[in-house]
Amino acid sequence: MNNNMNSEQSNGSLGIFPKSWSEQHAGRIPGNIPIWVGILSELTEFAIFFVAYFVAKFYYPDVFITGPQSLHTSLGVANTIILLTSSYFMAKAMVNIRLDNLAKCERYLWLAFFCGCMYLAVKTWEFHWNDLQGFSTNTSEFFTVYYYMTFNHFLHVGWASCAILWVIFRLRSGAYSAQNNAGLEALAVYWHMIDLMWILIFPLLYVLR
Amino acid sequence: MIKRCGKLEWFLFTLIAITLFNTFLGERFASTVLVNIIIAATVTYKGFTVIDHFMELKSGNKHLRFLMKFYFLIFPSMIIISAFY
């Protein structure tokens, strides 16, 4: 019984998925299974937001035409570029940990962290700018969806940036190497998921009119 | 490895270029069906690029890759559908 449990854990299935989902049958799982449970939960949460967006747009098409024109598009573009660049830095950190180049890996993690902070600063400025224009959650159905979606995403970037600091601390204490980097990779895939959500949010709120 | 690093940079520049192109489309043109199709296609491409090359699911678990890619087919399809209402 115990041996069976150990073999399930070692093949990455934890005994909760069908055998066909195991790493031997379906391919390597980047990071670890718990982070993917988290990622799929987050994707479900954002999927509900996206469905709410399309339902609201169906019922209130006019405010979804004027709404994006009221936003500071340049700030949305800047944040998209910042997040894409942060994903690149995270991918480079993974490349370097696999080469056992810890110093370079740490440098790229700091750069990703800096991008996360930049995103938060730009988004805070955007919320402030909106406030100066008199926009709030009650302005229209578009702004209700806009604040619900972007503030939620803002929180995700915030806590993932804190997670980068934790991973840097672990890296410095020798927890990761070329052979053992699942924790770092788990953070990397989570960060890419946050980037992916912004890739969908950006056209919905800033581009489509 | 040099080739791999070169690839990552290429993907980053492509993703940024697509973002700027999408913004140009949104600023210059009203949301016609054609504009929505172009934006949906580019969003799908951006999503697939991050999933395959940054998340490294191209060589990873095929079920996770399918789920992630399915997500980036469903919601861009809804962008196209939204052009009709």
Residue B75 burial by Cβ neighbours in a 10 Å radius (0-12, 13-18, 19+): buried
Instruction: Return mean pLDDT, chain A.
Output: 91
Rg, chain A, Cα only: 20
A199-208 tens-digit pLDDT: 999 999 999 9
- Superfamily (CATH) of domain A31-207: Cytochrome c oxidase, subunit III, four-helix bundle (1.20.120.80)
pLDDT exceeds 80 at position A8: no
> Which pLDDT does position B6 carry in this prediction?
87
CA dist A114 and A152 (Å) reads: 20
Q: Does the beta carbon of A208 lie under 8 angstroms from any beta carbon of chain B?
A: yes
Given this model, what pLDDT does residue A6 score? 45
What pLDDT was estimated at residue B29? 83
The separation between the first and the last C-alpha atoms of chain A, rounded to the nearest angstrom, is: 59
Within 60-79 of B, beta carbons closer than 8 Å to A belong to 60-65, 67-68, 71-72, 75, 78-79
Tell me if B16 and A84 make a contact (CB, 8 A cut-off).
Answer: yes
List pLDDT tens digits, range A118-135.
999 999 999 999 999 999
- Asked if B57 and A50 come within 8 Å (Cβ–Cβ), the reply is no
Q: What does the pLDDT read at residue A18?
A: 72
3-state secondary structure of A15: coil
Is the per-residue pLDDT at A2 higher than 60? no
Cross-chain Cβ contact A29/B4 below 8 Å? no
Give the model's pLDDT for residue A7: 45
Each residue of A57-105: pLDDT tens digit? 999 999 999 999 999 999 999 999 999 999 999 999 999 999 999 999 9
Q: Cβ of A18 under 8 Å from any chain B Cβ?
A: no
Contact flag A81-B16 (C-beta cutoff 8 Å): yes
Quick one: pLDDT at residue A15?
66
Token pair of A189 as six digits:
């895939």
Q: Does A54 touch chain B (CB under 8 A)?
A: yes
Domain ranges of chain B: 2-82
CB contact under 8 A, A73 and B27: yes
pLDDT in tens, B10-33: 999 999 999 999 999 988 887 789
For the cut 60, the answer to whether the pLDDT of residue A4 exceeds it is: no
What integer is the mean pLDDT of A32-36?
92
B39-73 pLDDT tens trace: 999 999 999 999 999 999 999 999 999 999 999 99
> Is the pLDDT at B3 greater than 60, yes or no?
no
With an 8 Å Cβ cutoff, are B63 and A26 in contact?
yes
pLDDT of residue A1: 41
Mean pLDDT of all residues in A186-203: 97
Biggest CA–CA distance in chain A, Å, is: 65
Residue A44 has pLDDT above 80, yes or no: yes
Question: What is the distance in angstroms between the Cα of A13 and the nearest Cα belonging to chain B?
Answer: 12
pLDDT score of A11 more than 50: no
Q: Using CA atoms, how far apart are residues A93 and B33, in angstroms rounded to an integer? A: 40
Instruction: Take residue A113 and report the two structure tokens written for it.
Output: 């962290």
Residue among B4, B23, B61 minimizing CB distance to A27: B61
- The arithmetic mean of pLDDT across residues A167-191, rounded, is 96
Domain residue spans of chain A? 1-28, 31-207
Phi, psi values for residue B60, rounded to 5°: -105, -155
Residue A209 has pLDDT above 90, yes or no: no
- Across the interface, of B26, B61, B71, the residue whose CB is closest to A43 is B71
User: Which residues of chain B have a CB within 8 Å of the CB of A189?
Assistant: 55
Identify which has the larger pLDDT, A18 or A110. Answer: A110
Residue pointed to by tokens 């938060």: A120
CA–CA distance, A101 with A195 (Å, rounded to integer): 25
Nearest CB to B60; choose among A30, A80, A85:
A30
Which pLDDT belongs to residue B1?
A: 44
Contacts of B57 (CB under 8 A, 6+ apart): A30, B51, B64, B65, B68
User: Inter-chain contact A206–B79, Cβ cutoff 8 Å?
Assistant: no
Closest CA of chain B from A209, distance in Å: 5
Residues 28-47 of B with CB under 8 A from A: 30-31, 36, 39, 43, 46-47
